[in-house]
Structure 1
Amino acid sequence: MSSKISLWAGTIGIGAIIILGQSIAIAKDSMELVNASKPSALAISVARGQGSGDYFLSGLRKQKQGDDRGALADYNRAIRINPRNANAYYNRGLLKATKLKDEQGALADYNRAIQLKPSYDAAYNNRANLKAALQDYQGALADYNRAIQLRPRNANAYYNRGVLKYGNLNDRAGGMSDLQKAAKLSQRQGNTQDYQAASDLLQQWQQTSGN
């Protein structure tokens, strides 16, 4: 009998679903560059054109308020004005993946965001979530690996990679190791809820495996 484990909720919306053999885990999307309170997240869009930056901020506000279609329209305008706005592609991809059920559109947006900004670890993590949901497990693994390479303290990517290894790649030891790393990083970073979520899932796995 399958069970549902609801973990790692994002700041805006729910993360991509990863299908496992005996359970469903909710993967955590990386949300760092979606928060308007962090000016560095907006630097690229604003610097490349005031109009594009204005629409980006408007889309961000609407996305937080739950106006998905309004947010989509604003991100579309931001991208039309400045086709090199990596953050707008990223936010639009997140919106398509989590709210609009447009997986292929989201994948194209994440691809473009990464093309424009190769160091975009959050986009790699989210693209990996989407690939895992589409059952491209090797592609997802490669993206999680890249996200961790770019930011070794990325607890989200360790958690998600652990879920992928344990449930889809027949690598239970590797999955548990990644969950342990995610829990340690979350604890060190003061993310109590994330630490508890990773610890609880790890404990469940250990009980199932008889460890």
Structure 2
Amino acid sequence: MRDDKGAMEDYDKAIELDPNYASAYYLRAELHYQQSNYQGAFEDADRSIQLDPDYPSAYYQRGQARSELGDYEGAIKDYEQAIQLTPSNFCGYYNWAELYSDLGYARANLGDYQGAIKDYNTAIQKDPSRIRYCSTYNNRGNARYNLGDYEGAIEDYSKEISFYKNGYNNAVYYINRGNAYNDLRNYQKAIEDYNHAIKIADKYPDVYEYRGLTRYQVGDKLGAIEDLEKAADLYQHGGFVEYYQEALNLIQSFNVTDKDAIIEDIQEIPETVNDSPTEVETTNKSAANPPILNNRVEDTNKENSQGISEKD
């Protein structure tokens, strides 16, 4: 019924009545995780494991909390333990697609893209009916991108897009595919994907910046400036002074006559967009934080707590 407060009170009472109730700690950990209280989720899942060392769901939950806290090595150990303890016919809080997808995500955060791809492949093979809910193709596309396989990445992003033709969730996948097209210098395809993303999430500033830089590459200087002005306005309204100034600097750089000098001033378009929970849920809501770029984990451009995506 989404009465989180009442649920938390009941879990607290259950633990008060029986401090050795492993399942209650696990369920409270799950609720903490859903509320983005990752430290609380870790502590409760850890306590659940202490009480019941053979509790696979608790290992999975602790792995999720560790992943959100940046302890990817610890997360991998927990996911692998959950795999060992989970029976083949398991039906519970998580499924095989989620488990292997999250394991791959943790590996990707450590730069093990080949290992991540193996895990994503296993997720797809073991649980094809549930894979659409785990963004596995998007994440495998990110791993492929990081290995320089842009065409393979585009194939995966396209598969993910096919799952969400009518929903806002596909904004992230259009952006990722657009960035991959950009690296293949297929600028027209990239612009088309950015256009799709803007139709879905038109208050997301970064996509205007990406499209503006791409428009400049095809000689559309006026369109590029228009997009960067839009990005600057959204950054300013969101309180992101650094990115607002960055957009203004890019606009100013377009007045330089030496194209090579301009390109040197323009930062590379981020490779892929994160796959963590998103706040870009409507087309009339400005992002509360700038997006995490590249992989769900690898933030090489802008740091934040919000990306575009739909995990959870």
When normalised by structure 1's length, the TM-score is: 0.70
Decide whether the 8 Å contact of 2:215 with 2:224 is kept in 1. yes
What stretches of structure 1 of length at least 5 have no aligned partner? 1-35, 38-46
Task: Give the % identical residues.
Answer: 35
Q: Which residue of structure 2 lines up, in the alignment, with residue 4 of structure 1? A: none
What stretches of structure 2 of length at least 5 have no aligned partner? 1-66, 69-91, 259-312
Aligned counterpart in structure 1 of residue 249 of structure 2, from 200, 204, 211: 200
When normalised by structure 2's length, the TM-score is: 0.49
Decide whether the 8 Å contact of 2:113 with 2:144 is kept in 1. no
TM-superposed deviation, 1:54: 0.8
Q: Does residue 103 of structure 1 match 2:150? A: yes
TM-superposed deviation, 1:76: 1.3
Decide whether the 8 Å contact of 1:48 with 1:82 is kept in 2. no
Code of the aligned partner of 1:81: K
Q: RMSD in angstroms over aligned alpha carbons?
A: 2.3
Q: Give the distance between the partners of 2:224 and 2:93, measured in 1 at CA.
A: 41
Q: Which residue of structure 1 lines up, in the alignment, with residue 122 of structure 2? A: 77
TM-superposed deviation, 1:128: 1.0
Q: Does residue 62 of structure 1 match 2:119? A: no
Q: Give the distance between the partners of 1:130 and 1:54, measured in 2 at CA.
A: 27
TM-superposed deviation, 1:62: 1.3
Decide whether the 8 Å contact of 2:138 with 2:156 is kept in 1. yes
Q: Give the distance between the partners of 1:185 and 1:206, measured in 2 at CA.
A: 22
Tell me the alpha carbon deviations over residues 100-143 of structure 1, each in whole angstroms, 9 at most, x when there is no partner: 11111111100100001223001101111111222222221111
Tell me the alpha carbon deviations over residues 80-111 of structure 1, each in whole angstroms, 9 at most, x when there is no partner: 223352411001111111x2111111111001
Q: Which residue of structure 1 lines up, in the alignment, with residue 184 of structure 2? A: 134
Q: Name the structure, 1 or 2, with higher relative contact order (CA <8 Å, separation 6+).
A: 1
Deviates more, 1:49-58 or 1:75-84: 75-84
Deviates more, 1:66-75 or 1:76-85: 76-85
Q: Which residue of structure 1 lines up, in the alignment, with residue 201 of structure 2? A: 151
Q: Give the distance between the partners of 1:149 and 1:102, measured in 2 at CA.
A: 28
Q: Does residue 182 of structure 1 match 2:240? A: no
Q: Which has the larger radius of gyration?
A: 2
Aligned counterpart in structure 2 of residue 51 of structure 1, from 90, 96, 99: 96
Q: Give the distance between the partners of 2:240 and 2:123, measured in 1 at CA.
A: 33
Q: Give the distance between the partners of 1:187 and 1:77, measured in 2 at CA.
A: 43
Decide whether the 8 Å contact of 1:49 with 1:82 is kept in 2. no
Q: Does residue 161 of structure 1 match 2:214? A: no
Residues 66 and 81 of structure 1, relative CA distance in 2, 3 Å threshold: same
TM-superposed deviation, 1:68: 1.6
Deviates more, 1:83-92 or 1:50-59: 83-92
Q: Which residue of structure 1 lines up, in the alignment, with residue 140 of structure 2? A: 92
TM-superposed deviation, 1:195: 2.3
Q: Give the distance between the partners of 1:193 and 1:71, measured in 2 at CA.
A: 33
SS at match of 1:153: coil
Decide whether the 8 Å contact of 1:93 with 1:107 is kept in 2. yes
Q: Give the distance between the partners of 2:185 and 2:256, measured in 1 at CA.
A: 27
Q: Give the distance between the partners of 1:196 and 1:93, measured in 2 at CA.
A: 31
